[in-house]
């Protein structure tokens, strides 16, 4: 059964579960909202349905019920490799089932076939002035492809609501297939004299991305596969997922929705933190004239906090423990680059920063998140230009948020329109 057929077989049972829930228990209260939550980013308010993954504050992310160590064990790998293939993760996110080797091969083949970039996209990317942030270029590249939307075309032709998922699936597959090429094109244009590396159709999606970036060797390909798996999804409330879902709820297509989500990922409190971590570490090294001692790090961390800045890569809106995505990358580093200088700094920060954040007493979670580790791995393999890091995050995040977007349309989720209130209204309520 193809991925699309497998997905189709899941639609009716899921639709009927949702229909029953809403019909029979639609009035059940699942969350109350406090004034603090209304001003505080709706933290903890349960009001969005996302099927692809769920985040536990202490255990971390589970993708369709599987945590990261389980995925590393159960998902198919590249020949001779150990890390899970992102194609397998996408299959799991979309269908809720672990794929076989053949299922994964089919996704790889689909993405290879759909991956060519149209000439007009290259022209548009070329025309963007040098120095424009890679995330801006990435978002623009995705937007430029919107004219390809099968979903928008079918909508215009008057497709039935029940069939929205089908052209959305086509858009999602076409778009995900192209993202590694867009990312690599932006990278090579911006930082490698506009010299590009043709894709290698014999490679898998993540391995090919590593190849097109210009870093050869199996270790970087393995890293890229792992990276693309672990950054893919973090349930639906984070800004990139929520934005993609919100924009899609207007029946905008996958291009509009993902581009919007990527604009959210580009914020320093979200995905951009991965470049900020590296920038921060390099500033420490430069200011101190080399790798810092622990005492120097402690002082530097306090100086950062006392100057009113955040420690990038630390803290989380939901997590209350070290992010398992951080641990997966740490394991990779311990295996492949234990003596790397920057990895040692990352490890030293891990030893001191949580205590400092606890002592400062503001951050609810003093532990590192995914972004505290990723840059040092990229740097080790020669990706020294930090500004590209969030684009890699974005390529991965597309898998999660776009798998959800297909389900949003399959389940007919409504246009989002929560009620807003004014401070006057809240003060009135308090008086009452
Ligand atoms: N360094 C310093 N202060 C921090 C902090 C950090 N790493 N994390 C949280 N705080 C502060 C907050 O700024 C906030 O201060 P104010 O009361 O002055 O506003 C206070 O602690 C309480 O914040 P919180 O409830 O613990 O955290 P939030 O849910 O509001 O925000 C997050 C979560 C991730 C934005 C925040 O921890 C942060 O800014 N971290 C640094 C940036 C970062 O690493 N972002 C990447 C997150 C992962 C991702 O999305 O990619």
- The domain spanning residue 2 has which CATH number? 1.10.580.10
User: Does any domain span residue 108?
Assistant: yes
Q: Is the Cβ–Cβ distance between 96 and 14 less than 8 Å?
A: no
User: Does any domain span residue 100?
Assistant: yes
CA of 315 to the centre of ligand 1 (A): 5
Q: Report helix, strand or coil for 368.
A: strand
CA of 314 to the centre of ligand 1 (A): 7
- DSSP, residue by residue, 22-76: HHHHTT-------HHHHHTTTTT-------SEEEETTTEEEETTB-HHHHHHHS-
Q: Which two tokens stand for residue 44?
A: 């903890």
pLDDT on residue 221: 98
Q: Which atom of ligand 1 is nearest to the CA of 318?
A: 29
Alpha helices in 309-420 (DSSP H): 324-336, 341-360, 371-380, 389-410
Each residue's pLDDT, cut to its tens digit, for the chain (432 residues) gives 999 999 999 999 999 999 999 999 999 999 999 999 999 999 999 999 999 999 999 999 999 999 999 999 999 999 999 999 999 999 999 999 999 999 999 999 999 999 999 999 999 999 999 999 999 999 999 999 999 999 999 999 999 999 999 999 999 999 999 999 999 999 999 999 999 999 999 999 999 999 999 999 999 999 999 999 999 999 999 999 999 999 999 999 999 999 999 999 999 999 999 999 999 999 999 998 888 999 999 999 999 999 999 999 999 999 999 999 999 999 999 999 999 999 999 999 999 999 999 999 999 999 999 999 999 999 999 999 999 999 999 999 999 999 999 999 999 999 999 999 999 999 999 999
How many folded domains does the chain comprise?
1
User: Does any domain span residue 42?
Assistant: no
Residue whose Cα lies nearest atom 40 of ligand 1: it is 315
Residue whose Cα lies nearest atom 18 of ligand 1: it is 362
Q: Which two tokens stand for residue 107?
A: 């996704």
323 in contact with ligand 1, CB cutoff 6 A: no
Task: Indicate if the alpha-carbon torsion angle 253, 259, 260, 262 is positive or negative.
Answer: positive
Residue whose Cα lies nearest atom 16 of ligand 1: it is 362
Q: Which two tokens stand for residue 425?
A: 């209204």
Give CA–CA dist 133/389, Å, rounded.
11
pLDDT on residue 226: 98
Give the closest residue to 227 by CA, choosing from 319, 333, 317. 333
CA of 412 to the centre of ligand 1 (A): 34
User: Does any domain span residue 423?
Assistant: no
Strands (DSSP E) contained in 51-198 are 53-56, 60-63
User: Does any domain span residue 243?
Assistant: yes
371 in contact with ligand 1, CB cutoff 6 A: yes
- DSSP, residue by residue, 280-337: HHHHHHHHHTSSPPHHHHHHHHHHHHHTT---TTB--SS--S--HHHHHHHHHHHHH-
pLDDT on residue 243: 98
Mutational pocket test of ligand 1: of 310, 324, 329, 353, the residue with most ligand atoms within 8 Å of the beta carbon: 310
pLDDT on residue 289: 87
Biggest distance spanned by C-alpha atoms of the chain:
68
User: Does any domain span residue 426?
Assistant: no
pLDDT on residue 288: 87
Q: Which atom of ligand 1 is nearest to the CA of 309?
A: 2
Q: Which residue has the tokens 């622990």?
A: 294
Full residue range of the structural domain in which residue 152 is found: 1-30+49-415
User: Does any domain span residue 99?
Assistant: yes
Active site (catalytic) residues: 270, 316, 371
236 in contact with ligand 1, CB cutoff 6 A: no
User: Does any domain span residue 428?
Assistant: no
The model's pTM: 0.98
């Amino acid at each position: 059964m193809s991925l699309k057929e497998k997905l189709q077989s899941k639609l009716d049972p899921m639709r009927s579960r949702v229909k029953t829930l809403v019909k029979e228990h639609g009035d059940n209260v699942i969350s109350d909202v406090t004034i603090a939550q209304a001003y505080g980013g709706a933290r903890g308010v349960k009001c969005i349905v996302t099927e692809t993954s769920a985040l536990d504050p202490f255990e971390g992310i589970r993708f369709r019920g599987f945590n990261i160590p389980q995925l590393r064990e159960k998902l198919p790998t590249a020949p001779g490799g150990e890390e899970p293939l992102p194609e397998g993760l996408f299959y799991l996110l979309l269908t809720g089932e672990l794929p076989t080797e053949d299922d994964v091969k089919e996704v790889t083949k689909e993405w290879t076939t759909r991956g060519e970039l149209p000439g007009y996209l290259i022209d548009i990317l070329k025309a963007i002035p040098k120095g424009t942030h890679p995330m801006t270029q990435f978002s623009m590249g995705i937007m430029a492809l919107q004219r390809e939307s099968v979903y928008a075309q079918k909508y215009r032709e008057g497709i039935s609501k029940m069939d929205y998922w089908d052209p959305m699936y086509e858009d999602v597959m076409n778009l995900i297939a192209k993202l590694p090429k867009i990312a690599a094109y932006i990278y090579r244009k911006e930082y490698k004299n506009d010299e590009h590396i043709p894709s290698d159709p014999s490679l898998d999606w993540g391995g090919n991305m590593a190849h097109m970036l210009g870093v050869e060797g199996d270790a970087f390909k393995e890293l890229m596969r792992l990276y693309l798996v672990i950054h893919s999804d973090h349930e639906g409330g984070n800004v990139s997922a929520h934005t993609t879902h919100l924009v899609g709820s207007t029946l905008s297509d996958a291009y509009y929705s993902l581009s919007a989500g990527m604009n959210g990922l580009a914020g320093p409190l979200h995905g951009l933190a991965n470049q900020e971590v590296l920038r921060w570490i390099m500033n420490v090294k430069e200011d101190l004239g080399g790798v810092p001692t622990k005492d120097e790090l402690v002082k530097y961390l306090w100086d950062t906090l006392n100057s009113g800045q955040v420690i990038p890569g630390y803290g989380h809106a939901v997590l209350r423990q070290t992010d398992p995505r951080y641990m997966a990358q740490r394991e990779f580093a311990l295996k492949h680059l234990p003596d790397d200088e920057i990895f040692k700094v990352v490890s030293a920060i891990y030893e001191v920063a949580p205590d400092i954040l606890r002592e400062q007493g503001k951050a609810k979670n003093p532990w590192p998140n995914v972004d505290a580790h990723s840059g040092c791995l990229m740097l080790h393999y020669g990706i020294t230009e930090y500004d590209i890091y969030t684009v890699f995050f974005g390529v991965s995040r597309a898998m999660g948020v776009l798998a959800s977007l297909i389900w949003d349309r399959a389940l007919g989720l409504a246009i989002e329109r929560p009620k807003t209130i004014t401070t006057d209204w809240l003060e009135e309520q308090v008086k009452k």
